């Protein structure tokens, strides 16, 4: 498909387990973003990549959260030792340029539930 693809769509994990969420951006898109959306809230920024470089990780809530984009395409968001407060929808978005003039295209998200 031509859109941003995220997998899995749903993930259930027990508290304390590690999880990995995957994002396939639109081909050729330079910028990639991760957001966290709690129930009934707007998305909140987690981290930003320009190609393979992680230029902004100011939104990551703790050192249990780690993101990478090693080849400047697919990105993985990893959460270690999950806690119940990590339950949320995790959204990935990509955009064509790095100047902010092009819109961000969002995936459908991964709904993470921590039991």
Please report, as ranges, the residues that interact with another protein according to CB under 8 A: 4, 31, 33, 35, 40-45, 48, 55-56, 59, 91, 93, 95, 98-101, 103-109
Q: How far is the CB of 48 from another protein (least distance, A)?
A: 5
Is the CB of 25 or the CB of 107 nearer to another protein?
A: 107
What b/e string do you get for 10-28 counting C-beta neighbours within 10 Å, with b at 16 or more? ebebeeeeebebebbbbee
Beta-carbon contacts of residue 64 (< 8 Å; ≥ 6 apart): 79, 80, 81, 82, 83, 86
Nearer residue to another protein within complex by CB, 82 or 90: 90
Least spacing, CB of residue 106 vs another protein, in Å: 4
């Amino acid at each position: 498909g031509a859109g941003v693809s995220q997998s899995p769509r749903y993930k259930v994990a027990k508290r304390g387990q590690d999880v990995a969420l995957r994002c396939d951006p639109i081909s050729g898109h330079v910028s990639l973003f991760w957001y966290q959306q709690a129930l009934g809230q707007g998305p909140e920024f987690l981290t930003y990549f320009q190609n393979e470089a992680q230029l902004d990780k100011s939104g990551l809530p703790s050192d249990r959260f780690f993101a990478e984009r090693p080849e400047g395409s697919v990105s993985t968001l990893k959460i270690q030792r999950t806690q119940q407060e990590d339950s949320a929808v995790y959204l990935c978005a990509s955009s064509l340029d790095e100047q902010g003039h092009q819109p961000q295209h969002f995936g459908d998200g991964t709904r993470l539930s921590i039991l």
